[in-house]
Structure 1
Amino acid sequence: MAGAARKKAMETLGKSMTEEVQRWGCMKQNGVSLRYMMEFGSKPSLRNLLISAQFLHKELPIRIARRVMDLETLPYGLSHKPAVLKVRDWYLDSFRDLRLFPEIKDPNDETEFTQMIKAIKVRHNNVVPMMALGVQQLKKGLDPNVDYEALDEIHEFLDRFYMSRIGIRMLIGQHVELQNPNPPPHCVGCIHTKMSPLEVARDASEDARSVCFREYGSAPDIDIYGDPNFTFPYVPAHLHLMVFELVKNSLRAVQERYLDSDKVAPPVRIIVADGIEDVTIKSTMI
């Protein structure tokens, strides 16, 4: 990393981190579609990797700065909870790292940049449980007459925050995976071009059932229905997480409903249905 460029960046940040975050947080965010990432990543040449790194060098600070601004302006004192302050500091550290990195001009810069954003991704691994801890800290300090479930502003923020986090991690993960010289079959970075939702649903359901077994000592059966030949381009890890949460909640609901009953808990049905423009995965109880 060029010493002069680093020194200049440090001077810029040193003037006022708050002003820098606000300036970048007000910039326009650029949307990136799954289709574009597939087409762009289908031929991960050195030139394309360089273009990708240059894009992320400008895009990631915008997205991260917005999250910092959100974390500092939360209602009901959530911004001041220790766990939330910890998360904010992680985002500030990542923003600082990105802004300190000089202009990316050649493959060596791209390689160094890739290592840095890999470290950023690892830094943010525990954001979700840490935010959950922050919410718990908020609940403990709330007036007993205040219903947390009715605090729509908090729920709306968390929805936005987690969606943005997925986007940031997807951008980083896609760039990093494009470096793989031997990608798995049908994979373009993180994207599986022929992903079977039925197969992912089976894996996620088994994982959710294992959690239910550990929690309750037993678990309802799971019946999964769908076309085994149907595939579409998507990120398996993302779908796995969504189906896992869906099935886990369904299993918990059934298990607790029949916990003190003489009746055998009915199986949970998972239905994977493909439409013209979308895919629906739903959970029902017989």
Structure 2
Amino acid sequence: MKLTKKCMGNITKMLDFYSQFNPSPLSIKQFIDFGLSACERKSFIFLRKELPVRLANIMKEIHLLPDNLLRMPSVGIVNNLYVTSFEEIIHFEKAEVCETTLDKFCQALIKIRNRHTDVVQTMAQGVLELKESHDVDAQTEYSIQYFLDRFFMSRISIRMLINQHTLLFGGVLNGHSRHVGGIDPSCDVVSVVKDAYENARFLCDQYYLASPELIVKLHNELENNNEVRIVYVPSHLYHMLFELFKNSMRAVMEYHGSETDNYPPVEVTVVRGKEDICLKMSDRGGGIPRSQMDHLFKYMYSTAPQPSLSGDTHTVPLAGYGYGLPLSRLYARYFHGDIVLLSCEGYGTDAVIYLKALSNEANELLPVFNKTSSKFYRTPLPTADWSSQVGGNMAARQLRMSSTQGHRLPHGLEASHC
């Protein structure tokens, strides 16, 4: 869609206006309560203000990205998608609230959701284009990590709002009568675990001709029964588990090789506590050295071969751009949970998913565009304030360090918290 200069000028003004406002985070309980009342007019009035705010907040950050990344063709495509969708939403800003408007709005949301389906892959391709240009320094990597955590979290939240509205009012049934939009008020955690395992196992069997078995253990601190249920978005939990299963299976198969038929199982322990529901996935895939642990949540790092643009079928189907873990952690953090990895090199890895047990405490975690976030993209990496001894004489090095002002150590790129 080609936009005239006048049109772009109007959009820029609207972006400046809506980016002044902070997004309004909702809890899962609020999503449920609102969905049960199912008032389309109220949903429309809320979304025609909230969606532009969320879009504007992240679109302002896109323009703060390093110039060398903004010049990448794929990043330009993503930026244009957002401009088009923002323009379509603000058309409803002052529209009369009537049946015709409600119907057009719902159709517009479906169109926007479909348009943005491949945004993750397209943005990943843009980062890959930059990486292959070899025009990346530590500052650029740090900015990209910070931005992508916020960009993808914003995307998760916008899709959540759109899905809730279109599932409730768009006549699109998701096949689950008890669901409120995309939320299951009584999500059976073990059922989602087994579903994710079976699908990851199918891929594993296809590539390695074998796969590790699954062992599930339960502990319910509050109730003496054999199930753990939660008010949650099953598709989000599935996404996290599917990615972790793929990683665990790939590690087990490659660590133990083809000389054995007896691969150690992947064990999942599901625990219901007062505040948290924890899912611990344990594998015996050889673990990860501590030196690599910080890299696992970086978007510019992957241990797997990059996906082929030519559609080469010989790449490992259990891996891709390396975005599986960082995106899964964002899904967990979206409602104030988390994903933590614990590894014993030479043995295996534990991955723990934390979810809020209470729906009124599971609030959206949303990026906000302000002076602090804006400053981040322009501030140089901090000078290291810890010494690091890699080799040589420590005392001699300390003497040299004491006479050196402004010494700067190479700084590792850490996964930022949204």
Is residue 26 of structure 1 aligned with residue 24 of structure 2? no
Is residue 132 of structure 1 aligned with residue 124 of structure 2? yes
Q: Which residue of 1 aligns with 2:249?
A: 251
Correspondence for 2:186 among 183, 191, 194: 194
Q: Which residue of 1 aligns with 2:388?
A: none
Letter in 2 for 1:186: R
Tell me how far 1:215 sits from its aligned partner.
3.2
Is residue 17 of structure 1 aligned with residue 15 of structure 2? no
Instruction: Report the TM-score, using the length of structure 2 for normalisation.
Output: 0.60
| Contact 1:82/1:134 (<8 A) preserved | yes
Distance 1:206 1:253 in 2: 17
Which shifted more, 167-176 or 226-235? 226-235
Question: Superposition pairs for residues 25-174 of structure 1, below 5 Å?
Answer: 25-44=19-38, 48-75=39-66, 77-101=68-92, 102-142=94-134, 151-174=141-164
| Contact 1:71/1:84 (<8 A) preserved | no
Distance 1:15 1:160 in 2: 26
| Contact 2:68/2:135 (<8 A) preserved | no
Tell me how far 1:156 sits from its aligned partner.
2.3
The alignment of Structure 1 onto Structure 2 pairs a total of residues equal to: 272
Q: Which residue of 1 aligns with 2:415?
A: none
Distance 1:54 1:12 in 2: 27
Identity %: 33
Three-state SS of the structure 2 residue aligned to 1:188 is: coil
| Contact 1:81/1:138 (<8 A) preserved | yes
Three-state SS of the structure 1 residue aligned to 2:37 is: coil
CA-based RMSD of the aligned residues comes to 2.6
Tell me how far 1:12 sits from its aligned partner.
8.3
> Residues 206-239 of structure 1, C-alpha deviation per residue, up to 9 Å, x if partnerless?
1111222233333222222226422111111111
Tell me how far 1:282 sits from its aligned partner.
1.9
> Residues 247-275 of structure 1, C-alpha deviation per residue, up to 9 Å, x if partnerless?
11111122221236557431111222111
Q: CA 1:35–1:104 in 2, change beyond 3 Å: closer, same or farther?
A: farther
Distance 1:123 1:32 in 2: 25
Q: CA 1:262–1:206 in 2, change beyond 3 Å: closer, same or farther?
A: closer
Tell me how far 1:80 sits from its aligned partner.
1.9
Distance 2:231 2:127 in 1: 35
Which shifted more, 117-126 or 204-213? 204-213
> Residues 80-103 of structure 1, C-alpha deviation per residue, up to 9 Å, x if partnerless?
211111111111110010112342
> Residues 183-228 of structure 1, C-alpha deviation per residue, up to 9 Å, x if partnerless?
7332111111000111011101111112222333332222222264
| Contact 1:104/1:110 (<8 A) preserved | no
Q: Using CA pairs below 8 Å that are at least 6 residues apart, which structure has the higher relative contact order? A: 2
Three-state SS of the structure 1 residue aligned to 2:186 is: strand
Tell me how far 1:52 sits from its aligned partner.
0.4
Distance 2:40 2:279 in 1: 35
| Contact 1:54/1:104 (<8 A) preserved | no
| Contact 1:13/1:96 (<8 A) preserved | no
Tell me how far 1:104 sits from its aligned partner.
4.3
Gaps of at least 5 residues in structure 1 are: 1-9
Distance 2:233 2:239 in 1: 10
> Residues 110-142 of structure 1, C-alpha deviation per residue, up to 9 Å, x if partnerless?
111111111101111111111111121121112
Which shifted more, 274-283 or 50-59? 274-283
Q: CA 1:181–1:214 in 2, change beyond 3 Å: closer, same or farther?
A: closer
Distance 2:182 2:249 in 1: 29
Gaps of at least 5 residues in structure 2 are: 220-225, 285-418
| Contact 1:186/1:193 (<8 A) preserved | yes
Tell me how far 1:11 sits from its aligned partner.
11
Instruction: Report the TM-score, using the length of structure 1 for normalisation.
Output: 0.86
Three-state SS of the structure 2 residue aligned to 1:142 is: coil
Q: CA 1:104–1:189 in 2, change beyond 3 Å: closer, same or farther?
A: farther
> Which of the two has greater helix per residue?
1
Tell me how far 1:71 sits from its aligned partner.
2.0
> Residues 164-191 of structure 1, C-alpha deviation per residue, up to 9 Å, x if partnerless?
1111000010011112497733211111
Q: CA 1:36–1:104 in 2, change beyond 3 Å: closer, same or farther?
A: farther
Tell me how far 1:143 sits from its aligned partner.
5.0
Q: Which residue of 2 aligns with 1:177?
A: 167
Distance 1:79 1:217 in 2: 42
Distance 2:147 2:76 in 1: 16
Which shifted more, 93-102 or 73-82? 73-82
